[in-house]
Each structure stands twice: as C-alpha cells, then as structure tokens.
C-alpha cells in the first residue's frame, strides 16, 4: 500500500469517527433541535453519491469513509425526523 492510499485511509478514518459523538449524543438525549433537517437531508444524499462514486472508481478510502458516514448521517437524519 502506497503512502497516498495510507493518507486517504487516515483522512477517511478521522472524518468518519468525527460523526460518532453527534450520533451518540443524539441517540442518548433525543435532542436534535440544533440539527438542520434540510442540511442533513442534502448531506446524506451527497454522501450516498460519494459512496457510489467510490464504488465505480474502486477507491477503498472513499468507499470505506462514505459507507460509515452514510450510516451515521442516516441515523442522525432518522433521529431528526423522529424527534422533531
């Protein structure tokens, strides 16, 4: 694995785990007042498109990061819809 791929995997890991605190807090408190529904809807769809792009070009960091971010963003979006 070359250094560029490693750089991509590290960046993907950091950006992916950055969503965990928001998911955990939203799940525990059921407080999603500060989360914008239009923004998260657009964001989640954008992440889905990045995932599709990663699959088409077979780019592991893009696929891994966007798979997990899509799951986390979808959870936050579901919580926002459920608890608004």
Q: Which residues contact 55 (CB under 8 A, 6 or more apart)?
A: 63
Containing structural domain, residue 73: 3-83
Counting the structural domains of the chain, the total is 1
What does the pLDDT read at residue 53? 97
DSSP character for 35?
A: S
Residues 3-51 pLDDT 10s: 998 998 899 899 889 988 988 998 899 899 889 999 999 999 999 999 9
pTM of the model: 0.84
Residues 58-76 pLDDT 10s: 998 899 999 999 999 999 9
Q: Which residues contact 26 (CB under 8 A, 6 or more apart)?
A: 32, 35, 75, 76, 79, 80
What does the pLDDT read at residue 1? 78
CATH number for the domain harbouring residue 28: 1.20.1280.290
């Amino acid at each position: 694995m070359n250094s560029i791929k490693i750089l991509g995997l590290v960046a993907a890991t950091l950006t992916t785990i950055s969503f965990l605190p928001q998911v955990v807090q939203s799940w525990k408190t059921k407080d999603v007042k500060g989360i914008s529904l239009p923004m998260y809807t657009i964001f989640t769809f954008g992440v889905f498109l990045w995932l599709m792009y990663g699959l088409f070009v077979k780019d592991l960091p893009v696929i891994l990061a966007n798979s997990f971010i899509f799951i986390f963003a979808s959870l936050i979006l579901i919580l926002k819809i459920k608890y608004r």
